[in-house]
Amino acid sequence: MNPLRKKNQFRADNVEENVIFFFWNNKKYFANKGDSIAAGLLANNQHVIGRSFKYHRPRGIMSAGVEEAGALVTIGNGAYTEANVRATTTELTQGLSVYSQNAWPSVKFDIGSILNVLGRFFAAGFYYKMFMGIPPFEWGRGTKIWMFFEHFIRKAAGLGQSSRLPDPDCYEHMHTHTDVLVIGTGPAGLQAAISAAKEGKDVLIVEQDYAIGGSYLSQPDTVELETQIEVLKQLQVTILTRTTAFGLYDDKTVGLVQVMPAKEYKTSSKKPRQQFNICRAEKIILATGAIERSYAFINNDLPGIMSVSSARTYLNRYNLLLSKNIVISTNNDSAYETAIELENAGATITILDAREQIGNKLLQQIAGLRINLYLGSGVVKAEKGLNTSSIGKIKLVEFANNKWRYAGNLYCDCLLISAGWSPVIHLASHQGYPINWNEENACFLSSGDNKSIFLIGSARGIWTKAGCIQSAKEIFQYNSRKKHKPSTVIGGWETPLAPIYEICLHNIKGKAFVDPQHDVTSSDIRLAYQEGFISVEHMKRYTTLGMATDQGKMGNIIGLALMAEALNCSISEVGVTRFRPPYTSISLGALAGRNRQSHFKPIRRTPFNNFSIQNRGVMINAGLWHRPWYYPMESESLEAAYIREATVTRRSLGICDVSSLGKIIIQGPDSTEFINRVYTNPFAKLPVGKARYGIMLRDDGLVFDDGTTWRLSENCYLMTTTTDNASSVMARLEELLQVRWPDLSVQVTSVTDQWGGCALAGPNSRNLLTKIIDDPSEISNESLPFMGIKQVLMQNVPCYVARISFSGELGYEIYIPSDYAQSMMEFIWENGQKFECCLYGLEALGTMRIEKGHLTNAEIDGRVTIQDIGLSKMASSNKDYIGKVLKNREKLTDSDRPQLVGIFPKDKNKTFKAGALLNEAGYSNGHPLGWVTSVTFSPALGHWIALGFITGGLAYVKDKNIVLSDELRSNFLDVEIVSPQMYDPEGLRLHG
Amino acid sequence: MIQIECPFCGKRDQSEFSYGREGQITFPALNADENSWYDAVFLRKNTYGRQIETWQHTHGCRSWLLVERDTVTHKIFSVKLAHTDWQKQIKKTT
């Protein structure tokens, strides 16, 4: 095959301006502006474009469109590398680098092609059988050499490789609303857009190609196309090219991705490379066209074999005549138009028509042209030419006595195939609209809902241009409220097609491909049948038919037909798998848009954030929050820092940022009743100015969250929640008030961000407080007892001071309006210097709470009951509350449930980690007795300690030898199970 | 992607809302027997077709809504506030 450029048809005066260069495997070539990569390669006589997925067979260009299964290439360099790009739909730009894929050392000589010789081992199910070690591969199971082999095989199969560098481009999201969305700019699509716009509708029309026109572009003259585009522009219709409608979703939503041309986004980094567009339309018109099918015959994947329509596209759109000597194998009328145009361009044509008769009109059209017509003929095998990887010879068959028989050879360097057309019904299928097999035209058809989603043109199985345009006009000729009943006739050929899906003769052997992109052959389909994978869903997964990047656009129907033949039933009985979005692959970057890194997960900073950073705080992510982790002095390590912080706090004074706790204001006449129903312990008699620690259960009786709730006035409470559950507790309270108990007059408001929380802990905390608040008498032991809260003035700013302790020391929490938080913290810290004082972070906070056996989400993990965490005394029996009934379910009250305990290593020098399992000595296997949830070094006790759960709790394991085992780190040690209150169990320090 | 017509905020994308649960569940009194609580918490109709469900306009007005939706087609038939007499409640509170 040696394609020729026809005379240059550019209207521009300067032809040189229309020539561009590009690189193919690092070699420079020239092409015309507007060429696709495939056209540019063909014009330079490059036919082997890549190597196939499994067998590493040489592959060339098979089409001129989105269905391409052979010519996949990698474009760009470095971080801009884009793999598995269809050469047929990607525009060549000046200086573009294009590379072949899946071949080593080169696409012309590829070592991996040895796999082709070993082909019979690589049939369907190969990967399953091989990797699972089932017959015939059972002998290799588990051996080392097999593992090595597996590694090689996994590496050998594949397509292009993407860059491992971070994506340097930016992507954008947008939302579009329109009256009418038309998908496809062929004759039907353009007409639909015009008709809609003439009715005064707001119309958006999208085209996946970089040029408008669809099948118009493949026609010899473009006058009609130009007229239609002119009308569209006058009607101010929005036209988007390079825009794929990849999915149809609920509520008439279409996912669009617009790809910018390579040059445009690189010259200005501010321009997005791709735009993800969520489009909502009142009417969606699918003018998505149809894809020409091939059929299975031996070596039907050789370079030089293409669809008939693509030869027409290369001829008329790209001025490329593929060869002087072309063979066309067809079973329908559509190929003749192309044959005539190719002949006019100077080629000699041989048509092999599978039908035994064709209409007179066609015969008249080809009379007198250099076209040889063989009726009742087809191809059974293609063979390589001499000194080339491309096609050189074909073996013909003729139809006689109801079967195919061998009828000689024919030399040619270009074979075009048309075995019928498959309408692009993918989008309708995404939404589950029924898909029916049309026997006469041998294709699946769908009609949308004919109310807001319509299929028109060849997407509805209409093969003539006039019919396509008529089907577009029709939609707008009816009252849009009524259901549309299309009148245009499906089909439109003079002689119906003769369905062929495969031509094979028992004495001619070789591989006939059904899905060339995944190297699925016709014998793979038969193997699937033999092995019982006859359901279409099973066949797909077993053979991987249609699971490649083209999603089986060319091969699926052949596969279905072969299965139908094996089962001796019709294709409609075999059925079809539902198409899933996306129609063509889209980049993850487009889906992510600008939601990357901190735009994906915004950072929440506490009001003390700057203060913490100024004071050398190292921050840690806790959910979305940035919280101070530890405050190292000079080159102090995390461990040294938290031990120092906890020690200083217990000895004198520590200050900590606790702003991330959830804070909810609960107001209204029924707020006491509401809180009483939400918490397990009674709140009804809580005096104003006092607080209680409360436990909240879920409906199913398990523990949901814990926190302290302060009664600020008769009908106003301040509830605190754990940092993790702040938003879910809020949503839960709102649900209870709005859905379940609408009779309660209560308002809840989240004030987490409005107040900065600062904890003072340690024996000197009250001494510091006296120095910083305006009237120190308000916080004496008597006027602010344990669990009391008071509004005080600090530097004339109203703050709340609550006497509460998470560390087990005498402690206070000061709640400061966020706007004053930074300056107040500086003021507090300045006064703290009069004592031995430190800032402590999350790590030291954790250490002190573990020493005291206080809980966090490591323990309250959604699986524990109130008894499990040792707080059954907090479950009131005198009132009703959420979870009260179901917490008493049989298994939840068992005494042998895992219960909260403290853990000491017997050898006090030993360390261990959270997640380790606990077992009785001698029982290291099977279900463990318990596990470790939180671990720390305890400065107060001088060794490592932990909290965890163990079956039956302290009482059950009292006299047993318990072993802690961390299999992953090979750490095994004897431990002592103790009460979770490991430090100061009497709570003497708490009251100062 | 469905859109939900919030009575306060108008038609908004589903991503602004969070699904709650089946809306037909009537939770028993807090002191009801174990069986009725068991039914309310664990038994679901798993309707094929139209059902009432609760959604919260989490990234909006935070209202809890009763949404009548077809679980097969995702078509929404009606949306109303779960709290039926919120106006009365506000009067009572203020």
Alpha helices in A840-916 (DSSP H): 842-852
A11: pLDDT strictly greater than 50: no
Q: CA A818 to CA A813: how far, in whole Å?
A: 14
| β-sheet with A82-86: strand ranges across | A27-32, A19-24, A96-99, A72-75, A82-86
Give the CA distances from residue B51 to residues A44, A976, B69, in Å, rounded to whole numbers and listed in that order. Answer: 62, 55, 6
Is B3 an 8 Å CB contact of chain A?
A: yes
Q: CA A41 to CA A550: how far, in whole Å?
A: 21
Closest CA to A257 of A245, A268, A239: A245
Is B93 an 8 Å CB contact of chain A?
A: yes
Domain count, chain B: 1
Q: Do A734 and B3 touch (CB under 8 A)?
A: no
Per-residue pLDDT reduced to its tens digit, A657-680: 999 999 999 999 999 999 999 999
Inter-chain contacts counted by CB atoms under 8 A, chains A and B: 75
Asked if A889 and A848 count as a contact pair (C-beta separation under 8 A), the reply is no
Is A162 an 8 Å CB contact of chain B?
A: no
E strand residue ranges, A184-269: 203-206, 238-240, 243-249, 253-259
Give mean pLDDT, residues A223-233. Answer: 95
* Partners of residue B32 in chain A, C-beta under 8 Å: 885
Of the candidates B31, B64, B81, which has its C-beta nearest A880's C-beta?
B31
Give mean pLDDT, residues A342-347. Answer: 94
Residue of B nearest to A698 (CA): B41
Helix%, strand%, coil% for chain A, nearest 5: 30, 30, 45
Closest CA to A381 of A393, A391, A395: A395
What ipTM was assigned to the predicted interfaces of this complex?
0.95
Lowest mean pLDDT among A12-16, A217-221, A513-517: A12-16
**What is the pLDDT of chain A when averaged over all its residues?**
90
Task: Spell out the long-range contacts of A600-606 with Cβ–Cβ below 8 A and sequence spacing 24 or more.
Answer: A604/A660, A606/A657, A606/A659, A606/A660, A606/A756, A606/A821
Per-residue pLDDT reduced to its tens digit, A483-523: 667 777 889 899 999 999 999 999 999 999 999 988 899 99
Task: Considering only residues B88 and A407, tell me which one the structure prediction assigns the higher pLDDT.
Answer: A407
Angle formed by the axes of helices A765-772 and A818-832, nearest 10°:
120
Lowest mean pLDDT among A50-54, A334-338, A804-808: A50-54
Give mean pLDDT, residues A607-635. Answer: 94
A988: pLDDT strictly greater than 50: yes
Asked if A829 and A839 count as a contact pair (C-beta separation under 8 A), the reply is yes
Q: Which residue has the tokens 């496809």?
A: A184
A125: pLDDT strictly greater than 70: no
Cis peptide before A136 (omega within 30 of 0): yes
Q: How confident is the model at residue A234 (pLDDT cuts 50, 70, 90)?
A: very high
SS3 category, A482: coil
Is A234 an 8 Å CB contact of chain B?
A: no
Is A748 an 8 Å CB contact of chain B?
A: no
Asked if A949 and A933 count as a contact pair (C-beta separation under 8 A), the reply is yes
Q: Do B3 and A882 touch (CB under 8 A)?
A: no
Lowest mean pLDDT among A13-22, A252-261, A292-301: A13-22
Q: Are strands B18-22 and A917-920 parallel, antiparallel or unpaired?
A: unpaired
Q: Looking at residue A925, what is its pLDDT?
A: 64
Ramachandran region of residue A319, left (φ > 0), alpha (ψ -120 to 50) or beta? Answer: left
**Alpha carbon of B38: minimum distance to chain A alpha carbons (Å):** 7
Q: Looking at residue A13, what is its pLDDT?
A: 44
Q: What is the H or E stretch that residue A408 is in?
A: strand A403-411
Per-residue pLDDT reduced to its tens digit, A530-556: 999 999 989 998 898 988 888 888 889
Give mean pLDDT, residues A637-655. Answer: 97
CATH number, domain with residue B7: 3.30.2270.10
Is B43 an 8 Å CB contact of chain A?
A: no
Give mean pLDDT, residues A117-146. Answer: 64
B94: pLDDT strictly greater than 90: no
Give mean pLDDT, residues A710-723. Answer: 95
Q: CA A821 to CA A599: how far, in whole Å?
A: 26
A217: pLDDT strictly greater than 50: yes
Share of chain A above pLDDT 90, in %: 75
**Alpha carbon of B46: minimum distance to chain A alpha carbons (Å):** 19
* Partners of residue B8 in chain A, C-beta under 8 Å: none
Q: How confident is the model at residue A708 (pLDDT cuts 50, 70, 90)?
A: very high
| β-sheet with A789-794: strand ranges across | A789-794, A797-803, A811-817, A755-761, A654-657, A838-839
**Alpha carbon of B51: minimum distance to chain A alpha carbons (Å):** 16
Domains defined along chain A, listed by start: 4-114 (3.10.20.440), 171-290+422-475 (3.50.50.60), 296-418 (3.50.50.60), 501-591 (1.10.10), 604-659+754-847 (3.30.1360.120), 663-751 (3.30.70.1400), 894-992 (2.40.30.110)
**Alpha carbon of B24: minimum distance to chain A alpha carbons (Å):** 11
A285: pLDDT strictly greater than 70: yes
| Cα-to-chain-centroid distance, residue A546 | 20
Q: CA A670 to CA A740: how far, in whole Å?
A: 14
Give mean pLDDT, residues A446-463. Answer: 92
Tally of CB atoms within 10 A around A830: 11
Q: Do B93 and A668 touch (CB under 8 A)?
A: yes
Write phi, then psi, for A713 (nearest 5 degrees). Answer: -155, -175
A937: pLDDT strictly greater than 60: yes
Residue A801: how many CA atoms within 13 Å on its side-chain side? 29
Q: Looking at residue A577, what is its pLDDT?
A: 83
Q: Do B3 and A251 touch (CB under 8 A)?
A: yes
Q: How confident is the model at residue A596 (pLDDT cuts 50, 70, 90)?
A: confident
Residue A957 sits at the vertex; the CA angle it makes with A955 and A962, to the nearest 5 degrees, is: 155
A221: pLDDT strictly greater than 60: yes
User: What single-letter DSSP state applies at residue A296?
Assistant: B
List Cβ neighbours of A32 (8 Å cut-off, separation of 6 or more).
Answer: A5, A8, A10, A18, A19, A20, A39, A40, A43, A318, A319
Asked if A79 and A168 count as a contact pair (C-beta separation under 8 A), the reply is yes
Q: CA A533 to CA A657: how far, in whole Å?
A: 62
What is the torsion angle, in degrees rounded to the nearest 10, for the CA atoms of residue A48, residue A49, residue A50 and residue A51? -20
Q: How confident is the model at residue A143 (pLDDT cuts 50, 70, 90)?
A: low
Q: CA A57 to CA A732: how far, in whole Å?
A: 60
Q: How confident is the model at residue A97 (pLDDT cuts 50, 70, 90)?
A: very high
Counting every residue written for chain B, the total comes to: 94
Q: CA A798 to CA A804: how far, in whole Å?
A: 19
Q: Looking at residue A10, what is its pLDDT?
A: 42
**Alpha carbon of A276: minimum distance to chain B alpha carbons (Å):** 14
What's the domain range around B11? 3-93
Q: Side chain identity at A430, as an amino acid letter?
A: H
A303: pLDDT strictly greater than 60: yes
Give mean pLDDT, residues A576-596. Answer: 90
Give mean pLDDT, residues A805-820. Answer: 95
- In a mutational test of the A interface, the residue from B16, B34, B86, B88 whose CB has the highest number of chain A CBs within 10 Å is B34
